[in-house]
Chains A and B, each alone.
Chain A
Amino acid sequence: MADEPKPPQSESSKPENSGGASTPLAAPKTPAAPATPPAAKPAPPPPKPPAPVQVPLDNELTRRYRERFGAAILDALEDRKQPYLVLDAGNLAEIARYTRDEEKFDLLEDFTAVDWPRREKRFDLIAILYSFPHNTRLRLKIPLAENERPASLAELWPTANWLEREIYDMFGIEFAGHPDLKRILLPDGWQGYPLRKDYDILLQDSAWVRENLGIDSGQ
C-alpha cells in the first residue's frame, strides 16, 4: 500500500524516470496534450463551492437564540447572505413569540412549506420575517414529520390565518389551534395535496377524464 501512492507522485514530477509497461502510452502524450487538461480540469471545481454553500452562522442574533432556547435551535445557517434558523417544531410557538416581541421581527412576510419526501422529516415550514425597526429579514425553518401538527401562529400574526390555510390546502399540514382550518384555494371536496412532490398532475387529470367522460385520457 505504501508503494502505490509513490508511483503517481514520481510520474507527475518526473515522468521519464518511472518507466515501465504503462508509461510508453502516456509518455508521448504528456508533453503536449494530457499535461494541460488535467491541470485545467481540477481548477474549475474549487471556485464553484464557495458561492453556493450554506455557511454556519454565528452572530449576535444567533447567540441570543442559542442562549435562550439551547437545543431547540437545531442549526443557524446563511445562504447567499440570507440568515435562517432551523427550529424544533415543539418550541415553535415560544420561539415565534420571542422573535416578534423581543427581536422585533414584527411582520410575518410569508409563511409556506417545502416537501422533501425522501427525508426522515418530510416537510420544512418556512416563516419569512421582516423587522421594521432593524430593516432586516430572518427565516425560520421548521422540519416536520408527516403527521406532526405544529402550533398555529395565527394568534401572534393574524396574517398567518390564511397562509396556514393555504399550507394545509397544498401540503396537508394541520396546525394545532388554528381558528378555522379548511381549504382556501381549492374546492372543499378536493382529493390530495397538490404541492406534495408525490402528487402527479397527470394522474389527477386521467382520473377526472375517466370518471366524467368515460374514456381514457390521451395524455
Chain B
Amino acid sequence: MQDNTLQNHGTLLGADELVLNMGPQHPSTHGVLRVKLKLDGERVRGTECVIGYLHRGIEKIAENRTYQQFAPYVDRMDYVAAVSNGLGYCEAVEKLLNVEAPPRARVIRTILTELQRIASHLLWLGTHALDIGALTPLFYCMREREEILKIFEKYCGARLTTHAFRIGGLQYESYDGFEKDVERFCNDFERRIQEYVDLLTGNSIWIGRTRNVGVLNAADCIALGATGPILRAAGVKWDLRKAQPYAAYDQYKFEIPTGTNGDTYDRYMVRIEEMRQSRLICLQAIEKIPEGAIMGKVGKVIKPPAGEIYHSIEAPKGILGYYIVSDATTQPYRVRVRPPSFINLQALDKMVRGHLVADVVAIIGTLDIVLGEVDR
C-alpha cells in the first residue's frame, strides 16, 4: 500500500537520485509554486508541481454573488492582466443575456485589452530575463509598463485590479486626451522594443540559455492543452482573435507571429512580436473610435434566462474561458474559469525532463504563469 503511494509520487528513489524542493518561497517560481524535482546529478528526471497555496475558491464565491458583484473578483486571478480577465467575463455574461456592447465600448475595450497584453508581456520579459541573469531589461520593461498603468489609472482610477469594464459595456467614458496618451505611448514604444531586442536577441548568453531549452512541439502543445504564445512558438498559426473574433478585433489588421522550434527562444521572439502587433492594433483603433453610447441595454438587475454559455478569449497567456450556467436567478448557478496558466503549467513536466536544474528556472519563466490564476 505504502509502496504504491510512493511510486505515484515519483519519490521511490534509486541510489543515484535526489529530490530537490524548489519553492514555494523562491523568487524564480513567480509566486508560490512548489516544484518537486527528481534529479540525477544536475539532470531533471521528473517533476511534480504542488499548487493551491493561493486557492481562494473563486468559483464557489461566484455562486454566492450576483453577476455584477462577481466581476471584480475575476481581476484577482491573473492580476497582471486584469483587463483581459474582465473582458472575458463581461462578454460571457453578455452572451448569456443575448446583448451586445455598443461599438464605441467595444473599441475602447479592445484598446485597453491590447495595452494590457503589452503590459503583461513586459512584466513577463523583465522577470524572465532577470531569472536567466539579465538585470537591465527589468528596469526598461517596468518603465514602459508604468506608462500603460498610468493610462489605466487615468481611465478608471486603478492600476492593477482595474475592473475596467461592466456587463453590457463600460461605466466610464474615455477621458480627455485618452487617444493622445495611447498614441504617445505607441510612438515611443516602437523604439523601446528595439532596445530589448538589442539587449537580448543577438546576445550569445541569452541564446545559449534559451535555444533548444524546453522544447514543446505542436502535437504535444495540443495534447497538453497549452495555448497562447506557447502554441504559436511551436508553429501553429492560431489566435482566437482571428479564429473567432470578439470585441472589435475583426476591424483591425494584424499578424499572428509564429516560431519554428517551440523552444524558449522562439517563445521569446513570439511575445516580442506580439507586443509589436498589439501596438499596431492600438494605433489603428485610436484613429477612429466610434461615437455613441458606451452601455448596452442591460437592466440594473441581471437575470439571464436559464441555460449555459462558454466564451473564451485570447488572453496574454493563452485561452481564457468562462463556462457559466444560469438558473434564471440573479446569481450564477455555476461559473467555471478555464485558466490558461493552470493548464499551461501542466506542460512543465514534459518540458524540463532531461534538462539541467538551472533550465527549470528558464522554463518556468517562459511558461509565463501567474499563480493567482493557477490556484484561483
Contacts and interface: CB of A to CB of B under 8 A. Distances in A.
B228 to A, nearest CB: 13
Interface stretch (A2-10, A59-67, A107-115, A206-214): A107-115
B84 interface: no
B375 A185 contact: yes
B310 A82 contact: yes
Contact of A135 (B51, B52, B243, B338): B243
Given A114-B325, A185-B52, A109 B222 contact: no
Nearest to B319: A109
A195 interface: yes
Interface in B219-236: 222-225, 227, 236
B60 A201 contact: yes
Interface in B298-336: 304-310, 312, 319, 321, 323, 325, 328, 333-334, 336
Contact of A180 (B8, B52, B334): B8
Contacts of B346: 158-159, 161-162
B223 A158 contact: yes
Contacts of B95: 80
A69 interface: no
A199 B8 CA distance: 29
B223 A159 contact: yes
Interface string B86-105: 00000000011010000000
A41 interface: no
A142 B257 CA distance: 38
A194 B310 contact: no
The contact size tier of chain B is: 35 or more
A159 B323 contact: no
Nearest to B54: A185
Contacts of A179: 8
Given A185-B51, A185-B375, A110 B336 contact: yes
Interface string B237-249: 0100001100000
B64 interface: yes
B22 interface: no
A18 interface: no
Contacts of A112: 323, 336
Interface string B331-345: 001101010001100
18 contacts: A51-B305, A52-B304, A52-B307, A82-B308, A82-B310, A109-B338, A110-B338, A112-B336, A114-B333, A128-B310, A132-B238, A159-B224, A180-B8, A185-B55, A185-B375, A194-B60, A195-B59, A201-B60
Given A48-B305, A110-B310, A185-B375, 9 more contacts: A52-B305, A80-B307, A82-B308, A107-B227, A137-B310, A159-B225, A159-B346, A162-B342, A184-B52
Interface of A: 48, 51-54, 79-80, 82, 106-110, 112, 114-115, 126, 128, 132, 135, 137, 139, 157-159, 161-163, 170, 179-180, 182-187, 194-195, 199, 201
Nearest 6 A-B pairs (CB), nearest first? A52-B305, A159-B225, A185-B52, A110-B338, A112-B336, A185-B55
